[in-house]
Amino acid sequence: MLKQQALLPKNQSTVQNANCVVMVPPKEFAFNAETAKDNEFQHQVAQTTSEVRELAMQEFNTMVAELRQVGVQVVVFDYPAGEIETPDAVFPNNWFSTTANGDLYTFPMACKNRQQEVKVDALVDTLESAGRPVQSQDSLLSYLQQDAHLESTGVMVIDHVNRTIYAALSQRCDREVLEDYAERIGYERVVSFQTALPSGKPIYHTNVMMAIGEGFCVICDEVIPEFERRFVIKSLAKDKQVISISLDQMNKFCGNILQLETVNGEKVIAMSQSAFDAFSPAQKAQLSSHGKLLPFNVQTIENIGGGSVRCMLGEVFLPTRTNPL
């Protein structure tokens, strides 16, 4: 059932786009059998683990270099390895989020081996070194005791300008945790809804079916039940250009894109090469009016990991340090 919640306001910036992102090298990347139980975008391959990691690292390094070249600050979080490998660590946007007030939030993820990715102290140190200090921390990890989950901006697609969170409910997106987070950051509206793939299963992460930019939204609305779909589209269309994508386009990660800003304030839209190729010429023209399109070849990471470019980008809204260390 679609749910809205009125929340208390909080003094929070309403900047839509980050000009800095955290990216995590895929040094332990592999097919994750745990997440594959509800992620239909993952595929097993015949290549060896070392071959897969070499290809994934090439894709990662190229993406980092090209983002930096256009003027997006990239903080590479070369996380400390633990006893349990973290094959999905390349997708850091699922376990943390940041705000323009200097807050860092950490989130309860559904899969045990993904919970090993949460390395708060190391991330705080890395952000500090990059000139993006964390001022305060808050955590929703206690919800793991209730077996309740909220996988950050994987399951929440956020319209910061209108202080509205859109979320497809699933085992990775619990309504109670979702509304708790919205209240903590002072966002007034939560629009949660059901989804169904042809298999009957829900979308595992909202950010594979929709993306919100400053003046546009890309959405695969056909996976939303009709009675909820109309409300969601009406809400988005108030001040966004709504670009509807097909199920086939969603499967090529056209929904898994992210609008960013360069340090000079120019708008760019990061996406995979497969998404770029799947958009129609008319859709590319629409998107180009909102920023320069930046396609990256992440075929290995997409195919095996079941996530794409947006999943690889942990937005950093933390203010830049104004005084030297």
pLDDT band at 113 (very low <50, low <70, confident <90, very high): confident
Residue type at 136? Answer: S
| Beta strand pairing call for 96-98 and 73-76 | unpaired
What is the pLDDT at residue 212?
A: 98
**Predicted TM-score of the model (pTM):** 0.91
Banded pLDDT at 41 (limits 50, 70, 90): low
pLDDT tens column, 169-211: 999 999 999 999 999 999 989 999 999 999 899 998 999 999 9
Highest-scoring range by mean pLDDT, 77-81, 287-291, 302-306 = 287-291
Q: Quote the CA–CA distance of 76 and 26 in Å, as a whole number.
A: 11
Report the mean per-residue pLDDT for the chain: 90
Question: Does pLDDT of 3 surpass 50?
Answer: no
Tens-place pLDDT, residues 56-69: 999 999 999 999 99
Q: Span 15-23, mean pLDDT?
A: 97
- pLDDT recorded at residue 39: 54
Domain 20-315 has CATH 3.10.129.10: no
**Residues contacting 143, CB < 8 A, separation 6+:** 108, 149, 150, 174, 176, 177
Per-residue confidence (pLDDT) for residue 7, from 0 to 100: 34
**pLDDT of 4 higher than 50:** no
The Cα 152–Cα 156 span in angstroms is 6
Q: Is residue 26 pLDDT above 50, yes or no?
A: yes
Q: pLDDT value at position 5?
A: 37
Query: Residue 36 has what pLDDT?
Result: 45
Spell out the domain ranges in the chain.
20-315
Buried b (16+ CB within 10 A) or exposed e, 266-297: ebbbbbbbbbbebbeeebeebbeebbebbbbb
Rounded to 5 degrees, φ, ψ at 167 are -155, 130
Q: What is the pLDDT of residue 2?
A: 39
